[in-house]
Structure 1
């Protein structure tokens, strides 16, 4: 870079004009990103949380690490958030001109401020910045307020070729030589992120169903720690559970063996989490508010999607039944769980097989323990009944089945096999508590209806079919 450009980049990280320089570019670019949470609401401004010069301005490219709050108006039903705006992690490359191979990464050319006349782009598309992140993890570097940590028991080689995962994700991922995958979190909150906390806890327990973190990035700001990214072993050749289910379904193949194995894997993870982290008992004082919150979500959903109105009474009966059991003195065990479990959060190693039940090489792995992104970090870290994870997977089988409407019985067979596999490894069949399971599955289906109505209307018949079933479903007697 020229000396003038070097001075410009060097001053950018501390310049009060940095955000003013980037503002018009980010207003256009940020809402287009899959991981931007505030879609449908205008961005009214930005505020800078931190700015760090990761690659020196003398290098090509320069690399700026930013944590930026995007300010947006609240929706009418949204209460005041803990923070005034969502905070996003941005890694910005800066060059005088962008080579053609990086054209898809372009953010723009600022016309004012310290970056005026330079080209700013999404740096994760560029191998050089991606290499820098891996090297920082290898060396346990500290760069400004950024801290890079690693597990000394895992070797991180420095000659691994990076490639950005281009599939749509709620975060960003870089694969290094089919050996590691770095998940770069985009929506950042202060505190311990479950996507690091739970895999570390499972690694301490020796659970082979979840890749053990090899390294992690954090920022230490004003007394708070922000988890920025997690490096884990890459499960080479693995199939995404959703893609695998659809392939087998399209071929007319039976998936119940895989569903049973996945049930066993889920139970093994739950059992290990119960050993690693506190387990609590939930009684009337906890369960009645939980059922009431489900009922409130139903009311809001009926207002948002009037198609739900004819089913409201039947759906509410699922939550009323749960509250009634709690009022009679029934208690439930709660622990840390995955929190957002579905087929897309599972990987099937090619060296595994449907009868694999004990971990080790091959079989099913669970990934992405971040939890439901719309929930606060505090909510995501609360102990919950394992039935919530089970319900999420049962709904996922329904979704897969509805991609081929002519197929009948596939989802029911998978659901039964999954629960049976779970019982084989966990000792407790989820179907032994039909009231709790129905309540969680109903709550999930209602969430899906609202989501599909807003974002994918063509998919609305999928959760509506579940709504029709769950609204008229009478709780079965508990299995003995």
Structure 2
């Protein structure tokens, strides 16, 4: 009965990765009682011959308060079963377990050595999460529950703990984590960090600047608009370079030799071919993208690689009262763990942020009645902030020489190709945003 309820419920959750495909079977691999009325489940979902596993906190109540009605999974007899991450009266076990370093039926709850965890704050679920679920405890902690479980240590736990051990700046301090064994491998279930309660999201700050620009008179240059963002973009570039330097110091580094660089260019081409087949609007831009790939193939220098963020954009950074902080080092959640932990060029992160500036400049134009008139202003804002970010990156010690610029352009275009496919599938009115990336700069 519980299996059937979970199968119906899980298909409706934002974090479920198998939407659009029928669920062939669902089973409960692990069921641990954490406290009266609270169980920790690891659920296996089978679809089209493949298995994914998910983490569920199952609450049990004979009477379900109205505040939890939206979290109901189903009813068995007179017991209401619900998603207990939404129940602040149950989620104190996370803080208690990490504070005590408790082990329970294969669940290992740990805290950073020397970290003192206050167990008093109550939790609240952040609504913005998609692939995971984050709980905020007062104004002190944010705990991310990794819903889809992949055997192995999550890169976010690995990277942030390593950087914190070096007293690196530009990160939110770690406090604790929860792990278990999947397929004989230690696997991260949750990670808790400092909650930046007074910080501002980078994407929101950038959009405020763009709105100011669009509302200003056309003859006023972006540099003179009240919400000019370029100084912040420059600081963000310097912070990004510092994070890259710290990652290179905390983890092994390597170089990609010339033949491997050529293989990278071939990978760009394969993705381009698949994208063009799906989105014909990309076809007129193929010659320019092919030219960028060819320029990469002509490179004769080795390319340094290291651990990187892997999914870097304005939504992954926060502006505190003193500086920028980088969040979410887990990489692209949909990619295999080995790929997310693999060494890569730091220019991949730089390209991701440059694409984010283009998105910030243009996404407000989707469906806008004056989009054509505002397009030059969008380009002006994007160019100004891209340049400021790159200046800050150089000032912070990031190196972009002529060969790097070639590779950076290829990373950018490859990212834009991915965005074209994504927008065509999910937000067709946004398709002009990534298509604008292929114009000559």
* TM-score between both structures, scaled by the size of structure 2: 0.91
Contact 1:431 1:437 in 2 (8 A): no
Aligned to 1:162: 123
Q: Which structure 1 residue ranges, 4+ long, deviate > 4 Å from structure 2? A: none
Aligned to 1:207: 168
Match of 1:434 among 405, 417, 436: 405
Describe the SS at the equivalent of 1:446.
Answer: helix
Q: Partners in 1 of 2:94 and 2:288 — Cα distance? A: 52
Match of 1:44 among 11, 15, 24: 24
For 1:317-466, list aligned pairs within 5 A. 317-325=291-299, 329-349=300-320, 351=321, 362-405=322-365, 406=374, 407-408=377-378, 409-429=380-400, 433-466=404-437
Cα drift, residue 432 of structure 1:
6.2
Contact 1:279 1:383 in 2 (8 A): yes
Cα drift, residue 431 of structure 1:
6.8
- Alpha-carbon distance change, 307 to 117 in structure 1, aligned in 2, over 3 angstroms: farther
Aligned to 1:478: none
Query: Any unmatched runs of 5+ in structure 2?
Result: 214-226, 366-373
Match of 1:239 among 200, 203, 207: 200
Aligned to 1:70: 45
Contact 1:213 1:232 in 2 (8 A): yes
Describe the SS at the equivalent of 1:251.
Answer: helix
Aligned to 2:95: 134
Higher mean alpha-carbon deviation, 186-195 vs 221-230, is at: 221-230
Aligned to 2:156: 195
Cα drift, residue 396 of structure 1:
0.3
1:346-394 per-residue CA deviation (whole Å, 9 max, x = no partner) reads 0111x2xxxxxxxxxx210000011012211001111100000000000
Higher mean alpha-carbon deviation, 246-255 vs 234-243, is at: 246-255
- Alpha-carbon distance change, 172 to 73 in structure 1, aligned in 2, over 3 angstroms: same
Cα drift, residue 305 of structure 1:
1.3
Contact 1:138 1:156 in 2 (8 A): yes
Match of 2:72 among 102, 106, 123: 106
Cα drift, residue 220 of structure 1:
2.1
Aligned to 1:10: none
Aligned to 1:313: 287
Q: Partners in 2 of 1:309 and 1:45 — Cα distance? A: 41
2:70 is aligned with 1:90: no
For 1:143-292, list aligned pairs within 5 A. 143-252=104-213, 253-292=227-266
Q: Partners in 2 of 1:222 and 1:429 — Cα distance? A: 42
Q: Partners in 1 of 2:31 and 2:10 — Cα distance? A: 17
Cα drift, residue 68 of structure 1:
1.5
* TM-score between both structures, scaled by the size of structure 1: 0.84
